[in-house]
Amino acid sequence: MEQLPELTAGQYSLVYNAMSLTIAAFLGSGAFFILGRNFVAPEYRKALVTSALVVGIAAYHYFRINFSWEAAFELEGGMYVPSGKPFNDAYRYVDWLITVPLLLVELVQVMNLSKEKSRNLITVLSISAVLMLLTGYFGEVDKSSTSIMSSRGLWGFISTIFFVIILVKLVQEIWGTAKEETGRVRILVRNILLLTVLVWGFYPIAYMGPFFGLSGAASEVFVQVGYSLADITAKAGYGLMIFAIARERTLQNYSESEAQAA
Amino acid sequence: MEQLPELTAGQYSLVYNAMSLTIAAFLGSGAFFILGRNFVAPEYRKALVTSALVVGIAAYHYFRINFSWEAAFELEGGMYVPSGKPFNDAYRYVDWLITVPLLLVELVQVMNLSKEKSRNLITVLSISAVLMLLTGYFGEVDKSSTSIMSSRGLWGFISTIFFVIILVKLVQEIWGTAKEETGRVRILVRNILLLTVLVWGFYPIAYMGPFFGLSGAASEVFVQVGYSLADITAKAGYGLMIFAIARERTLQNYSESEAQAA
């Protein structure tokens, strides 16, 4: 288990409020994906249901992370000191194990690929995502490693291989299809792929923190707030971009009242 | 962290009940916006979904504010004395960070503007709102300032610049379009703009409290009850006015059964 640092009231609250912001963003965007289903044509509603599942599952995990954070500290003379109860960071990995494959499924669901191509792509992406996260978790457990040649470094390297497989598949199959399209859909798909690369890039950086000797209060706060903002972008923001793609495709083929009546 | 005053049972309960009233108003109006979607034509349902998200997210935050209020006091000999646990007022800023941009989106969504004009207006208003709230929060953290020349005063001033940008945009773009319209829509848009200016004006007044030497029990109660009533008006009341505009536009173009069947 990780050794928690002593935090000032401001540091503790910043993390606490970032977690609460994340829960609010997930619940709000989830309600939007459910209530907004009718704004897209029937063939894209699967993707909105998937988006709602992602943020719903993530909201559940953030509630638990938030409770765990609260229990892990005690207020003593104006400072938040570790209470002895562990802060259970593993919730994040459990969450990602379910939500990351679903995020990839969402994207495939708005791409208008053939049924067979969709199925193959979902299989490859999901398996790669699960392997990326499992191997990453094996390394995460070893918090004491400060060397990149440790087991943490080795597992991190293996995990990265699966991350690269996902990126290659996304560029080949998703961008390979989208670049043939015209108008706003092409731009939206390009943007969601850029967002994925940039935001998913934060997680390996946080993972490598111990290698750079990062520890203590400032580093803990940076990582926790960073995870919160990255998760909001990678799940709620990503879902809104999926909605935008589905909406754009809908308006290319239907009028507003046709789409909502369908 | 804010220093809480000692409260009488009446003062404590007044704040507590104002918070509960706010939660009830948000849950009730949210249910109405969802259940009432079919009373407006398809093109205005987006605005009702946005209204529902605003009050839903705000209800979540008011639950947390209410729990935090409860934890921050202990009953001792008939008086409510600070328990030592902080009252987390930051929930308000976290809430506004999400809901204020959405409130502006709601309004644009019932204005029948061109797609491009809507998108530009939403971008400018949302960015201004986020900057207004972030800079306001930086100043809010500094509760000890009693001078307008302090960092609290400076951040408040910067925040006000973005508030003014929002007001100018609303008058130019929203009122600029609405004043060309006829009948009840024109009056409703004028009223919602007046409501926005008047009710949003309460927040900077509460923010400036410390400059006027306001502190202690009466001031705390005034600010908390004031925030509750301002939030009910600015979110639930505002959403109902958005509904009225959408409903009026619907009845101008559809019969009742056409609108509901669509």
Answer whether A119's CB lies under 8 Å from A159's CB. Answer: no
CA-to-CA dists, residue A172 to A165, A168, A194, B18, angstroms: 10, 6, 14, 56
Which residues in chain A show pLDDT less than 70? Answer: 1-2, 143-146, 261-262
A28 → closest Cβ in B45, B56, B141 = B56
Query: Residue B31: CB partners within 8 Å, gap ≥ 6?
Result: none
B46 → closest Cβ in A9, A27, A39 = A39
CA distance B169 to B133: 17
Residue B1: per-residue pLDDT? 45
Residue A260: per-residue pLDDT? 73
CA distance B139 to B132: 11
CA distance B191 to B212: 31
Mean pLDDT of B19-45: 95
Partners of B33 on chain A (C-beta within 8 Å) are none
B72 CA to centre of own chain: 24
Residue A2: per-residue pLDDT? 60
Query: Residue A110: CB partners within 8 Å, gap ≥ 6?
Result: A44, A47, A242, A245, A246, A249
Residue A261: per-residue pLDDT? 65
Q: What is the DSSP-derived secondary structure letter of residue A2? A: P
Owner of token pair 């953290």: B141
* pLDDT single digits (tens) B61-114: 999 999 999 999 999 999 999 998 889 888 999 999 999 999 999 999 999 899
Phi and psi at residue B73, to the nearest 5°: -125, 155
Sheet with A79-82: list strands edge to edge. A7-8, A79-82, A73-76
Partners of A31 on chain B (C-beta within 8 Å) are 52-53, 56
Q: What is the DSSP-derived secondary structure letter of residue A6? A: P
Helix (H, G, I), strand (E, B) or coil at A180: coil
Partners of B98 on chain A (C-beta within 8 Å) are 21, 24-25, 28
Residue B73: per-residue pLDDT? 96
The verdict on a CB contact (< 8 Å) between B88 and A13 is: yes
Q: Amino acid identity, residue B128?
A: S
CA distance B261 to A25: 32
What HEC string does B49-100 produce? Answer: HHHHHHHHHHHHHHHHHHHHHHHCEEEECCEEEECCCCCCCHHHHHHHHHHH
Partners of A39 on chain B (C-beta within 8 Å) are 45-46
Partners of A69 on chain B (C-beta within 8 Å) are none
* pLDDT single digits (tens) B111-170: 989 989 999 999 999 999 999 999 999 888 776 666 777 888 899 999 999 999 999 999
With a pLDDT cut of 70, the percent of chain B lying above it is 96
Q: For chains A and B, what is the number of CB pairs under 8 angstroms?
A: 60
Residue B253: per-residue pLDDT? 84
Mutate to test the interface with B, among A12, A14, A15, A20 (most CBs of B within 10 A): A20
CA distance B87 to A9: 12
Lowest mean pLDDT among A153-157, B68-72, B175-179, B252-256: B252-256
* HSE-CB of A142 using CA atoms within 13 angstroms: 18
Task: Point out which residues pair with A73 in neighbouring strands.
Answer: A82
CA-to-CA dists, residue B30 to A128, A250, B115, B228, angstroms: 41, 27, 26, 16
CA distance B205 to A242: 40
A28 → closest Cβ in B42, B43, B98 = B98
Structure tokens at B37: 């979607």
Partners of A35 on chain B (C-beta within 8 Å) are 34, 49, 52-53
Q: How confident is the model at residue B261 (pLDDT cuts 50, 70, 90)?
A: low
**Shortest Cα distance, chain B CAs vs residue A160, angstroms:** 34
Answer whether A166's CB lies under 8 Å from A175's CB. Answer: no
CA distance B262 to A258: 8
Helix (H, G, I), strand (E, B) or coil at A8: strand
pLDDT at B40 over 80: yes
Partners of B90 on chain A (C-beta within 8 Å) are 13, 17
Q: How confident is the model at residue B182 (pLDDT cuts 50, 70, 90)?
A: confident
Q: Amino acid identity, residue A2?
A: E
Answer whether B195's CB lies under 8 Å from B233's CB. Answer: yes
**Shortest Cα distance, chain B CAs vs residue A66, angstroms:** 12
- Shortest CA distance from A70: residue in chain B: B85
**Shortest Cα distance, chain A CAs vs residue B190, angstroms:** 28
Q: Chain A interface residues facing chain B, Cβ-Cβ under 8 Å?
A: 9-10, 13, 16-17, 20-21, 23-25, 27-28, 31-32, 35-36, 38-39, 75, 256-257, 260-261
Mutate to test the interface with A, among B53, B112, B119, B249 (most CBs of A within 10 A): B53
The DSSP code sequence of chain B is -PPPPPEEHHHHHHHHHHHHHHHHHHHHHHHHHHHTGGGS-GGGHHHHHHHHHHHHHHHHHHHHHHHHHHHTEEEETTEEEE-SSPP-THHHHHHHHHHHHHHHHHHHHTTT--HHHHHHHHHHHHHHHHHHHHHHHHHHT-TT--STTSHHHHHHHHHHHHHHHHHHHIIIIIIHHHTTS-HHHHHHHHHHHHHHHHHHTHHHHHHTGGGGT--SHHHHHHHHHHHHHHHIIIIIIHHHHHHHHHHHHHHHHS-HHHHHH-
A261 → closest Cβ in B56, B91, B262 = B262
CA distance B2 to A226: 26
Q: Amino acid identity, residue B175?
A: W
CA distance A173 to A114: 12
Answer whether A26's CB lies under 8 Å from A55's CB. Answer: yes
Mean pLDDT of B218-224: 90
Residue A100: per-residue pLDDT? 96
Partners of A28 on chain B (C-beta within 8 Å) are 53, 56-57, 98
**Shortest Cα distance, chain A CAs vs residue B56, angstroms:** 7
CA distance B9 to B76: 10
Residue B205: per-residue pLDDT? 85
